[in-house]
Chains A and B, each alone.
Chain A
Amino acid sequence: MSRQPEGPPPPPVVQRLRVRYAKRGRLRFTSHRDFARAFERAIQRSGVPIAFSAGFSPHPKVSYAGAAPTGVASEAEYLEIGLAEQRAPDDVRSALDAALPAGLDIVEVVEAPPGTPALADRIEASRWQIVLPEVTPESAEAVLATFLAHDSVIVERPTKDGVRPVDARAAVVSAVVVPRESRGSGVVCATLELVVRHATPAVRPDDVVTAMRQAAGLSTPVIPVVTRLAQGLLDAERSLDDGALKDPLS
């Protein structure tokens, strides 16, 4: 007979909260595992009454809705937590934000009403910002036009199990070029804003950049800086080209 933890089972979840958080600046280099560890320790320090699973190794009730790739900044990452006691969402937001290092920032916390669709069902696409240092807006426009003229651009992404083909064009819902001054230098460089549908296999922003190099002659002398600006459902009421996304917390 195996040993069992003594005492009563842990208290149940009485409140579910949905959390939007950001990965900014140098902390964009945290991997998803790094973030998860930091977040779970921050919960401990913050005193937020998180609920735990039962057993010898209880786990805090946290579920993550996808994660931006390591090295990609994000203004819109999402997770859901289960609390063992009721709390005001905004108090939880400030307690967690204060417990996390600057750069891992809690942006918004809302209550998840029972019976509403799960976070995963409220997200189908992302808006990405890709800053292309030393690329002029004019040349980026030309690249983009060529790229969008294709129906499909297959790129090979290296994975642990060898290269895997990914169609980096088909998943792109919309794309525009925005001029942007690069870091106080006075020099204007191109910035792409893309809305990309979440597909299987996932199409990552660097796959799209690779596809633009491959199919449209994009040249990137400096590694592009990528930020996820938003996630959500594509707004069916508006034109798809518009790439509008519905806030998953609304």
Chain B
Amino acid sequence: MSGQSVFERLEPLLPTVRKPVQYVGGELHAVTKDWDACDVRWALMYPDAYEVGLPNQGVQILYEVLNEREGVLAERTYSVWPDLEAAMREHGIPQFTVDAHRPVGDFDLFGVSFSTELGYTNLLTALDLAGIPLSAADRGIDHPVVIAGGHAAFNPEPIAEFIDVAVLGDGEQAVLAITDIVRAWKAEGRPDGREGLLLRLATSGVGYVPAFYDVTYLPDGRIQRVAPNRPGVPWRVAKQTVMDLDEWPYPKRPLVPLAETVHERYSVEIFRGCTRGCRFCQAGMITRPVRERSIDTIGEMVQRGVAATGFEEVGLLSLSSADHSEIGEVAKGLADVFEGSNVSLSLPSTRVDAFNVTLANELSRNGRRTGLTFAPEGGSERMRRVINKMVTEDDLIRTVATAYGNGWRQVKLYFMCGLPTETDEDVTAIAGVASRVIETGRAAAGRKDIRCTVSIGGFVPKPHTPFQWAAQLDHETVDHRLQALKAAIVADKQYGRSIGLRYHDGRPSIIEGMLSRGDRRVSAVIRRVWEGGARFDGWSEYFSFDAWVAAAEEVFADSPVSLDWYTTRERELTEVLPWDHLDSGLDKEWLWQDWQDAISEAEVEDCRWSPCYDCGVCPSMGTQTQVGPTGRMLLPLSPV
């Protein structure tokens, strides 16, 4: 019998594993529907531990959108830790959903959301535990259709062997379109089997089916051509764009977990997309154009969401939240609504701007002022011109002085290391910036006990960005520069003790680099390293750089490609990139021009308040920027 709960078999194992509550479900607002009353059934996965996966907005939105539909059922599944994985293998228990503990292999569709490429090995664990063949080619008509989504799906080639479909872009409407196709195919008696269904998905344009494209290679290892191998399958697959966020006010009833998770708050996306044009930022490039959610929808979602969950924190999410055309009114309106309650408001936006301090003051009107975060990303003004992060050092210092002067005790600054054209001096310049921050901050605050934390991450070039052609910096040089920065901070006798430095070693970024810009030949490396035990690669206690290097060496022996070939090699304009047939709307000519502008340190203004710079998205996708102001007000809801 399909869809039977495995909980009775799982339960005796739970007392033997760490944090068993993460496997039992039972969250507030979780939905369990009658299996037999539904004809399209989705298992949705975030391929990381429950504590990270549960708060994921993407999965929660699709879960709610799907379960609202008659005859459609969606349940959630997360990666199980190795202790439970071992116990499940010993007792023959398959990958299960946490809602009704059903075997994932019994569902029609298995949708996996990838925010990061480091979740790929966890996909293989889930497939294997579910009894779904790892290779899409080995699956039969009764296996779920495995669908990848999320930002990493914009280059799904490294997992092309393991997935049936990738969906690029916004999921709300896409999952419903897929549901309709599956329902019709099932109602007609599943004509032409699995291939028939995949062909319908591919020809409709909603999904990219890697098996329907042949990739050929040049002798030097570069791609020669990517071409469809079935009639009616498009040469390029375009991303999905939801144009009216007010029509999709999800999540309405967010899941409230019993277990502790990484984010415990009601989050509302106040707009989607970003046209600031930071050249390293894949999210900003692939989610264009900017589409704002209106002030009244935001107000209603927040007030209803807080009432439905009991969360004490509200996050106003987006790629750069202070850029919402009515953010001032939103902040004031919400601060008024929650004045005198225990609900705190946060704006995880990080643009260096005095206005951000004003907003943060408003949002923390009667709360504690602990830390503010800004992201200059580049240590020197030259570096910031290269990445198109337009902020001068004086702006930065003025902004942090305002923050300290307004009672904030700690400022956190985000930077990247390994950016294109970067020199040792660009990174050590960060120490000088941090010293000025403390010097100015002590004067502004009138006290000495203020702190500045510098957080620095390794830069990974991403597909669909102007840096997609760039050479990734080798991890030895990254580590060398980070050590030099650390030494410079320690050597600062006057201010060094007020400056904290947080960084990671550069090696995981190299693996992420291969998985980000890799092609189908990387699938074999993922499989090999997973067979050797790789799991939870986003967790430093599990990640093994050496295992990945060994797997790549083994798989790529006697081939023109290598780990370095995928990462530290600069590409030419003429090279066919593995994701060229996947259409984010960005014009490749424009991306190349922006890459050239980066090298010559030329900046580009945001198209929201200056003329269009022809990135290509709006005309090719039939979309346009949607921003206010609406002139409307955020009104407190009267209690029902």
Contact = CB atoms under 8 A, between A and B. Distances in A.
Interface string B602-635: 0000000000000000000000000000000000
B75 to A, nearest CB: 15
B312 interface: yes
A6 B364 CA distance: 12
B16 A223 contact: yes
B368 A57 contact: yes
A57 B342 CA distance: 8
Given A7-B366, A26-B24, A101 B258 contact: yes
Contact of A58 (B21, B260, B310, B342): B342
A174 interface: no
B367 A56 contact: yes
A31 interface: yes
Interface string B13-27: 011100111011111
B593 to A, nearest CB: 50
A43 B310 contact: yes
B423 to A, nearest CB: 42
A222 interface: yes
Contacts of B19: 31
Given A7-B340, A41-B309, A29 B407 contact: no
Interface string B243-273: 0000000000000101110001000000000
Contacts of A43: 310
Contact of B368 (A37, A41, A56): A56
B81 interface: no
A26 B256 contact: no
A27 B24 CA distance: 7
B213 interface: no
B308 interface: yes
B8 to A, nearest CB: 8
B7 interface: yes
Nearest to A41: B310
Contacts of A29: 14, 20-21, 23-24
Interface residues of A, number: 32
B11 A26 contact: yes
A101 B27 contact: yes
A152 interface: no
B477 to A, nearest CB: 41
Contact of B7 (A6, A26, A71, A101): A26
A86 interface: no
A137 interface: no
Given A26-B25, A52-B342, A33 B260 contact: yes
A34 interface: yes
Contacts of B7: 26
A70 B22 CA distance: 12
A217 to B, nearest CB: 22
B12 interface: yes
A45 interface: yes
A222 B12 contact: yes
Contacts of A31: 19, 21
A29 B21 CA distance: 5
Sort chain B's interface into a size bin: 20 to 34
Contacts of A38: 256, 258
A42 B258 contact: no
A117 interface: no
A93 B73 CA distance: 33
B12 A27 contact: no
A30 interface: yes
Contact of A45 (B258, B309, B340): B309
B21 to A, nearest CB: 5
A30 B19 CA distance: 8
B369 interface: yes
Nearest to A47: B639
Contacts of A37: 258, 260, 264
A103 interface: yes
B366 A5 contact: yes
A33 B23 CA distance: 16
Contacts of B256: 38, 41
A205 to B, nearest CB: 12
Interface string A212-245: 0000000000110000000000000000000000
A7 B369 CA distance: 17
B311 interface: yes
B363 to A, nearest CB: 14
B28 interface: yes
Contact of B20 (A40, A58, A70, A99): A70
Contacts of B368: 56-57
A42 B369 contact: no
Interface in A71-90: 71
B307 interface: yes
Contact of A41 (B20, B311, B366): B311
A34 B366 contact: no
Contacts of A41: 256, 309-311
A58 B340 CA distance: 11
A99 B29 CA distance: 11
A63 interface: no
Contacts of A34: 21, 258-260
19 contacts: A3-B369, A6-B366, A26-B7, A26-B25, A26-B26, A27-B24, A27-B258, A29-B14, A34-B258, A34-B259, A37-B258, A44-B310, A45-B307, A56-B368, A70-B21, A71-B15, A99-B310, A101-B26, A102-B26
Closest 9 CB pairs of A and B: A41-B310, A44-B310, A56-B368, A26-B24, A29-B20, A45-B310, A29-B21, A71-B15, A34-B258
Interface of A: 3, 5-7, 26-27, 29-31, 33-35, 37-38, 40-45, 52, 56-58, 70-71, 99, 101-103, 222-223
Given A34-B259, A38-B256, 6 more contacts: A27-B258, A30-B259, A34-B260, A41-B309, A45-B308, A45-B309
